[in-house]
Amino acid sequence: MGKRHEKLGIKQTLQKHWMDFTVQMMLAGMSKEEIRAELDNFLATQKQSGGTGERGEKTYGIAVSLLASWFSPDHELIAFRDDALSLAKKLPANEWFPLHWAIIAASYPFWFNVAKQTGRLLNLQDQVAQLQVFNRLKEQYGDRETVARNARYTVRSFVAWGALKDAEARGCYKKSASVSVVDTDLAILMLESVLHATPDAKGALGLLLNNPAFFPFQLPAMTGDFISQRSNRIDVVRYGLDDELLKLNGQ
């Protein structure tokens, strides 16, 4: 398991408008040094609730590290990020939600795993309790306080992004209306994000299209041939009669 799959890396509620702001600076041609400096100034006056006020240097430093999945990704994610940025150029900002989701999932597998466990629970019931998500994650990461804390911040990020909404009972959440992803290039990028977030970097196409980590979205049906023609980073392997396996090149 690589270093990206060992780190939790989610330690505060991530606001979607911070992600939008980061992409807008990238599209304006700002360097990663300029973006980091701008984010330092911007986040220094942001409260976690979205208001203004003093923030500790450590707190907003963590926020910048999360936003860096856009402007300073790991080396193996640069081409993936570049394609995401190309899609952002042609999509209006109010349709960037799936892009942000894919970028964060690929960069922080813990985020992906929280989304997957949340989606699995929502497939079984109308609402999910925070404690249920925590218990499932503990099976994978162990019963550590950092797991519960990071999971709590991640789930609250889902709420802040509109993927979940608060239920009547404290600590419980309901699924928001699904976002339809109609751009097939965007859908393929989202499938690729799962491959990056998965240690063996492969998965059956049918399972990827219906991955519970995509609980906020509705992805279009696509064939393996179509995906391989549109992406130069995904290989398709056929097995059985009709089954197709997607994997990252070189895996």
Could you tell me if 34 and 132 lie in one domain?
yes
Could you tell me if 78 and 151 lie in one domain?
yes
Domain of 45?
1-177
Q: What is the mean pLDDT of residues 163-177?
A: 94
pLDDT tens digits, 182-229: 999 999 999 999 999 999 999 999 999 999 999 999 999 999 999 999
Q: Which residue type is seen at 214?
A: F
| pLDDT of residue 48 exceeding 90 | no
Could you tell me if 105 and 158 lie in one domain?
yes
Q: What is the CATH number of the domain that holds 197?
A: 3.30.420
Domain count, the chain: 2
Residue 1 pLDDT grade (very low, low, confident, very high; cuts 50, 70, 90): very low
CB within 8 Å of 116: residues ≥ 6 apart: 211, 212, 213
Could you tell me if 81 and 161 lie in one domain?
yes
C-alpha of 107 from chain center: 8
Could you tell me if 170 and 213 lie in one domain?
no
Could you tell me if 207 and 196 lie in one domain?
yes
Could you tell me if 183 and 157 lie in one domain?
no
The helix (run of H) or strand (run of E) holding residue 32 is helix 32-43
Could you tell me if 172 and 186 lie in one domain?
no
Rg (CA), the chain: 18
Could you tell me if 66 and 173 lie in one domain?
yes
User: What is the pLDDT, as a whole number, of residue 57?
Assistant: 52
Could you tell me if 171 and 78 lie in one domain?
yes
pLDDT tens digits, 18-32: 899 999 999 999 999
